[in-house]
Chains A and B, each alone.
Chain A
């Protein structure tokens, strides 16, 4: 049986499209389920505010949905993309685009469910602060979407990159590595950003006076939580845009694939950990606003230490790309 290149490209695009949508559906569904669960609790607590809670639930779920909508867009593009010059390299790039988007949507989807849920529950505690809670929820969950947007950008670049005369080996591994690096590294940052945003909605519901301090701490914490996904983006940009000399060796290809795997997995833990640190700081700024400065300081120190393993992973990835 002989398989022509066009068939291989189609197989890669369809498999990538399936992975993009299948993996991409996990996060948003869990996140929206959490929002709805908290909204139910909130309605049972104060049925007289059910209209406001219901409205807030739908707005929060709509934002959480966006990660899976990105995945849907990429999946549809992959299914119906017209490839004028099918090559094996194009097949690798299309498959990697699906992996990047599918994995990248998980964290943001789960994460943006937390602010939605806590804002709904908060409205039942403090109906007067409803508009403040909705605003804070929207800011927090919008920041949670950043890693999913990075993944979509990488997926689109992989799909429409001009491959030129790049050597098939080892460039195929560089593209796969780029997709894995961005997709996995986005999981932790998306989830961690959601933890911080959820705690800030809960905090504003507890003490609406502290809203300004709580939102500031949330944004700083979320920004630091995004760093591992930015490392992932950096490594995948290097892998996509660096020109690799043609080689017959399998180890040159595996070094590039390993660079992507290393940075991808390495970004998950620090992203979640930074989010936990930010969650703790935001929760206690709301309860003890006089210590906001101390809390911000210890949050940043703790996050910096938690970041260190992501930096080790980035160093090993850079060594794999540039030294070996």
Chain B
């Protein structure tokens, strides 16, 4: 079986994409869970502000999500562009 250079480069790009998205998903997943846990605590202490707290939680999670989106972008670049 002859293995060509192009084939090895493509293989490395696929593995890289998998590792990028896989590891990149860990942090946002845990971080957003922490946000949600603390939002529940805050609503438990002060249920009147549920609307404001939901909004704050969602904005915080959206920021925490950004690193996950970077991973997705890098993975898609590795798969389709490089």
Binding site for B on A (CB under 8 A): 169, 184, 188, 192, 228, 248-251, 253-255, 257-277, 279-281, 283-285, 287-288, 290-291, 294-295, 298-299, 301-303, 305-310, 312-313, 316-317, 319-320, 324
Chain B residues with Cβ under 8 A from A264's Cβ? 22
B47 and A294: CB pair below 8 A?
Answer: yes
A-B pair number, CB within 8 angstroms: 204
Chain A residues with Cβ under 8 A from B10's Cβ? 249, 251, 254
Nearest Cβ on chain A to B60's Cβ, whole angstroms: 10
**Best-buried of A228, A257, A258 by chain B (most CB within 10 Å):** A258
Nearest Cβ on chain A to B72's Cβ, whole angstroms: 5
A258 and B25: CB pair below 8 A?
Answer: no
CB-CB under 8 A for A316 and B79, given A262-B21, A279-B37: yes
CB-CB under 8 A for A316 and B72, given A273-B32, A309-B25: yes
B25 and A298: CB pair below 8 A?
Answer: no
A273 and B47: CB pair below 8 A?
Answer: no
**Shortest beta-carbon contacts, A-B, top 6:** A273-B33, A302-B36, A269-B29, A284-B44, A280-B37, A258-B18
CB-CB under 8 A for A248 and B1, given A261-B22, A308-B65: yes
- Interface SS of B by simple majority: helix
> In the complex, how many residues of chain B place their beta carbon closer than 8 angstroms to a beta carbon of chain A?
54
Known: A250-B11, A257-B15. 5 other contacts (CB 8 A): A258-B15, A273-B29, A298-B57, A306-B29, A312-B69
**Best-buried of A251, A263, A272, A288 by chain B (most CB within 10 Å):** A251
**Scoring B residues 25 to 44 as 1 if CB is less than 8 Å from chain A, else 0, what string do you get?**
11111111111111111011
CB-CB under 8 A for A254 and B15, given A265-B25, A277-B33: yes
Chain A residues with Cβ under 8 A from B33's Cβ? 192, 270, 272-277, 302-303, 306
Q: For the complex, give the distance between the alpha carbons of A277 and B45 in Å.
A: 16
B11 and A251: CB pair below 8 A?
Answer: yes
B36 and A271: CB pair below 8 A?
Answer: no
Which chain B residue lies CB-closest to A181? B22
B40 and A266: CB pair below 8 A?
Answer: no
Which chain A residue lies CB-closest to B69? A312
Chain B residues with Cβ under 8 A from A248's Cβ? 1-2
A302 and B61: CB pair below 8 A?
Answer: yes
Nearest Cβ on chain B to A258's Cβ, whole angstroms: 3
B7 and A284: CB pair below 8 A?
Answer: no
B82 within 8 Å of A (CB atoms): no
Q: For the complex, give the distance between the alpha carbons of A263 and B54 in Å.
A: 29
CB-CB under 8 A for A276 and B37, given A288-B47, A301-B58: yes
Q: For the complex, give the distance between the alpha carbons of A324 and B14 in Å.
A: 9
Which chain A residue lies CB-closest to B4? A249
Q: Could you list some 25 contacts between A and B, CB below 8 A?
A: A192-B33, A249-B10, A254-B10, A262-B22, A270-B29, A272-B30, A276-B30, A276-B36, A277-B37, A283-B44, A285-B44, A294-B50, A295-B43, A298-B36, A298-B50, A302-B35, A305-B36, A305-B61, A305-B65, A308-B68, A309-B29, A309-B71, A310-B29, A316-B75, A324-B14
A270 and B61: CB pair below 8 A?
Answer: no
Nearest Cβ on chain B to A172's Cβ, whole angstroms: 13
